[in-house]
Structure 1
Amino acid sequence: MLQTVRMHLSAATRRRALAATATAAMALSISCAGSASAADLPVWDDYSYEGQVAVIETLVKNFEAAHPDVDVQRTQRTFDDLALTLKLAVSAGDGPVVTKVNQGAKDMGAMAKEGLLLPLDPYIQKYGWTERQSDSILARDRWTKDGKFGTGETYGISSLGEIVGLYYNEKVLKDAGVSLPLKTFEDFLEACDKVKAAGATPIAMGTAKQHLALHLLAGISQAHIDASKRSELDDLIYGRGGSWQTPGNVESAALLQKWAEEGYYFDGFQGISGDDAVQLFIAGQAAFLTSGTWYFGDMKANPDIHFMAIPAPKGVEHPLSVGGVDPAWAITALAKDQATKDLAGSYIDYMVSPEAAVEWAKAGYLPSTKLPDDANIDMTPLLKEGVAIWKSLNANDAIGHYPDWSSPTMLKTIDDNMPLLLSGRDTPEAFIGKLQADYAAYLASK
């Protein structure tokens, strides 16, 4: 559901807010470029979960306090709503100046190619963003004019790091006789079997909305790839060639289908949304959930819940974990003059600043920008686990990819055909074959 948040301050209110926050504002590393006169700044973002909304509203208020002549007009959308409407709105001339945009060919790639997004490289240099985030992370926002992914100009930068990993409920597992920690993928499979035998649900799943099944499929498949052998996956996602029809993808699809047939998911999971499945998991109704760190804020409600990377099978030393960063902040072509572009760049700079990273971490989320060394944050156990995993993945070049980035239509192809796989109407080979056909068509179109 679309929720538009208009944040207007009267002149008097602004003066009081500025006076009250002057000291704090001086500490914020926010450039005032482009704010010499009153300006509206239309912004779209996908921060729709309760914990995320609280953070982004705080950050917007901070930015406005430091820019008293700027009126941030924030529109909140879900991830799916943003993907559905953003390109059309910018093309029509009534969309945002600053927006979140999903990386990959369908969204950022298409918009960059059509000139609907502006390169951020001048602001990367101006604000020193390469000192806050690694080049391998920024590469996920790069596109050439002829549509090559992972190279060329940079069209976005993100606020949050993302890891698609394995949430687990320690109490549910111990009640089923499962010993922790789980060290290998074989341990994970055995734990699922024990939970099922104990009469509980092993894996939280809902496929009516969102993408839990996609995350489970990709998470399992990529956990079987050692970081030293990641080039084939990189080529696939960046549109340089390769094939979906690998033994690992077929075997992962077969495992998901087997679990569906044998009752390892919620009863009626095909009619349950992903968000509802998450809430059932938080309520203790399943042992495992494969999803991302963006749920950290919600998971705080249950202290029995922990987070780990999907464990690798024996012989894989540094397994890949699906993830990277959340949809990126970008400037659209609706920034027509230099003052507007600079104001947009200043807004994004604050959204990826160390100060913003501290606010996210305080709320239990994993920031993509490095936290200041002197940050005094009482991290939740989940965030500590996430930070440790993020550090290890970066050190071992083991951050994998979202598979839907591989073509403009891949997310729809997966979503349309996943129900057929999980209901047994498609074989694993047929399901993966459809993904390969989509990818081959995309390569041919280039």
Structure 2
Amino acid sequence: MNRTVKSISILPAYRLKAAVALAGAALFCIGLSTATRADDLAVWDDQTYEGQSAVIEQLNKEFEAAHPGVTIKRTARTFDDMKLTLKLAVSAGDGPVITKVNQGAGDMGAMVKEGLLLPVDDYIKNYGWDKRQSDSVLARDRWEDGKFGVGKTYGISGLGEIVGLYYNKKILGDAGVALPQTFEELLAGLDKLKEKGVAPFMMGSAKQHLALHMIGAIEQAHIDASNRAELDDLIYGRGGSWNTKGNIESAKLVQQWAQGGYFFPGFEGISGDDAVQLFISGQGAFLISGTWYFGDMQHNPDIGFMAIPAPKGISKPMSVGGVDLAWAITSLAKTKPTQDVAGAYIDYMVSEKAAETWANAGYLPATSLAADAKPKLTPLLSSGIEMWKTLNANDALGHYPDWSSPTMLKTIDDNTPLLLSGNITPEAFVDAMDKDYQAYLKDKK
């Protein structure tokens, strides 16, 4: 699940009609006829942050220059906006030909079931996308007969994502708190910060999903990758229960922090995006969120990023994450030539060239950088790349809990404020998640 971001709407239409056939056109191994290039290409994405949007604008211009006659008609929507409007727009026939779509049962799974997305396996083979990204990453875009993680592939992502621990080095140093190496050290450091009158965690729960990411990240940091099968089964809809000791204990700890003054004062009325800006301005010692904020965070050199420290005894802790929303082709691509242009566009968006462009802007690409690439890596991105390598090597890349059912995100969002305010118990919070999940499993039969 991607991260909601600043609410803006962009519909730029580049009209570069230059007959400049770039040498880079050799990258596209599927031939594109002149007739194919004649149409506007409606594209929806969720890159609404200023830095992200600038990268997409640049990549769109480059693609148009390499494909004379193609005009990208771009619409940028927030994550929540996309969830509300995408399926309806495609169903109505006035949506995008190419779109970003959230993985999981509620979005990609539902659209596949209704025939609103086209499989991209031919393009994976023709362009070699499976050489750029691992099979375990591509599996997050597979659906077959309502089963997640198997069957045909319906998308591919351009960015990697990790939910981790942002920290302010200056605030920690002034408080005499060392960077935690274990979860136990993190807990002790939080207590020391609170004693000194420093807000241990920046938090905003009025909008977006910082609390969800915090609860999931803590729970998954307590799972060794060798024991990931239970979590995988839950996310891929194979069965199991959310009602576990680990989930309850994570919810209980976050509730204690909320009730005990460990969060920034007034967090209940602060949105996630505003909380991030407050953190960048030097408020709060820690913030749990994802690498999609690297572009903004790099403006404060005191901010660092690391994995949630694991408790003693966990050698390969998991981290919530994976990839950003997938690039997909909708059923509105009615003809093979249109589908091939869409395939070529997505290929460029997950190319090594695009990966280098993202890296230069401070973001974590899902596609590996070319051997001769020389991006200007920020300290944050360097940390993120090393974490990405380690997580993939350890098979420790975790999941967003809301992917587990079509309605799980709403269930979590409805109950998180109640948990943080103390109006429901941690047991009731987890039970609400499990009731949602069990109902989904029952409906699948």
CA distance in 1, matches of 2:208, 2:33: 38
What's 1:6 paired with? 12
Matched position secondary structure for 2:10: strand
Q: What is the aligned counterpart of 1:256 among 227, 239, 254?
A: 254
What's 2:126 paired with? 126
* 1:5 Cα deviation from its structure 2 partner: 2.2
Aligned pair count? 436
The 3 A distance-change label for structure 1 pair 377 and 127 is same
What's 1:94 paired with? 94
What's 1:162 paired with? 161
Matched position secondary structure for 1:330: strand
Q: What is the aligned counterpart of 1:419 among 417, 420, 429?
A: 417
Task: Note the residue ranges of structure 1 that are not aligned, 5 or more in a row.
Answer: none
Matched position secondary structure for 1:290: strand
Matched position secondary structure for 2:147: coil
* 1:43 Cα deviation from its structure 2 partner: 0.1
* 1:2 Cα deviation from its structure 2 partner: 4.6
Task: Note the residue ranges of structure 2 that are not aligned, 5 or more in a row.
Answer: 1-6
The worse-fitting range, judged by mean Cα deviation, of 27-36 and 186-195 is 27-36
What's 2:386 paired with? 388
Aligned residues of 1:185 and 1:312 also touching (Cα < 8 A): yes
Q: What is the aligned counterpart of 2:407 among 406, 409, 431?
A: 409
Aligned residues of 1:107 and 1:408 also touching (Cα < 8 A): yes
* 1:30 Cα deviation from its structure 2 partner: 3.8
Matched position secondary structure for 1:258: helix
What's 2:147 paired with? 148
Alignment of 1:329-368 (within 5 A): 329-368=327-366
What's 1:71 paired with? 71
Aligned residues of 1:224 and 1:312 also touching (Cα < 8 A): yes
Report the residue type matching 2:58 in the other structure: T
Q: Is the counterpart of residue 41 in structure 1 residue 41 in structure 2? A: yes
Alignment of 1:311-330 (within 5 A): 311-330=309-328
Deviations 1:177-230 (A, max 9, x none): 1113x2100111111111111111111111111100000000000000000000
Aligned residues of 2:16 and 2:71 also touching (Cα < 8 A): no
CA distance in 2, matches of 1:33, 1:69: 15
The 3 A distance-change label for structure 1 pair 8 and 50 is closer
Deviations 1:328-354 (A, max 9, x none): 000000000000000000000000000
Q: What is the aligned counterpart of 1:280 among 278, 281, 298?
A: 278
CA distance in 2, matches of 1:48, 1:440: 35
Aligned residues of 2:158 and 2:365 also touching (Cα < 8 A): yes
Deviations 1:304-350 (A, max 9, x none): 10010001100000000000000000000000000000000000000
What's 1:293 paired with? 291
Report the residue type matching 1:177 in the other structure: G
The 3 A distance-change label for structure 1 pair 28 and 217 is farther
The 3 A distance-change label for structure 1 pair 243 and 10 is closer
* 1:8 Cα deviation from its structure 2 partner: 3.5
The worse-fitting range, judged by mean Cα deviation, of 25-34 and 210-219 is 25-34
What's 2:192 paired with? 194
The 3 A distance-change label for structure 1 pair 303 and 2 is closer
CA distance in 1, matches of 2:213, 2:248: 15
Aligned residues of 2:14 and 2:61 also touching (Cα < 8 A): no
Report the residue type matching 1:333 in the other structure: S
Alignment of 1:107-122 (within 5 A): 107-122=107-122
* 1:32 Cα deviation from its structure 2 partner: 6.6
Matched position secondary structure for 1:239: coil
Report the residue type matching 1:422 in the other structure: L
Q: Percent identity?
A: 68
The worse-fitting range, judged by mean Cα deviation, of 214-223 and 373-382 is 373-382
Aligned residues of 2:225 and 2:317 also touching (Cα < 8 A): yes
Report the residue type matching 2:195 in the other structure: A
Aligned residues of 1:35 and 1:67 also touching (Cα < 8 A): no
Deviations 1:392-423 (A, max 9, x none): 00000000000000000000000000000000
- TM-score (normalised: structure 2): 0.96
Aligned residues of 1:33 and 1:346 also touching (Cα < 8 A): no
* 1:35 Cα deviation from its structure 2 partner: 4.9
Aligned residues of 1:32 and 1:67 also touching (Cα < 8 A): no
Q: Is the counterpart of residue 228 in structure 1 residue 226 in structure 2? A: yes
Report the residue type matching 1:6 in the other structure: P
What's 2:3 paired with? none
Report the residue type matching 1:178 in the other structure: V
Report the residue type matching 2:61 in the other structure: K
What's 2:4 paired with? none
CA distance in 2, matches of 1:214, 1:30: 40
Matched position secondary structure for 2:163: strand
Matched position secondary structure for 1:243: coil
Aligned residues of 2:25 and 2:66 also touching (Cα < 8 A): no
CA distance in 2, matches of 1:340, 1:2: 28
Matched position secondary structure for 2:99: strand
Deviations 1:408-446 (A, max 9, x none): 000000000000000000000011010010001000000
- TM-score (normalised: structure 1): 0.96
Report the residue type matching 1:54 in the other structure: A
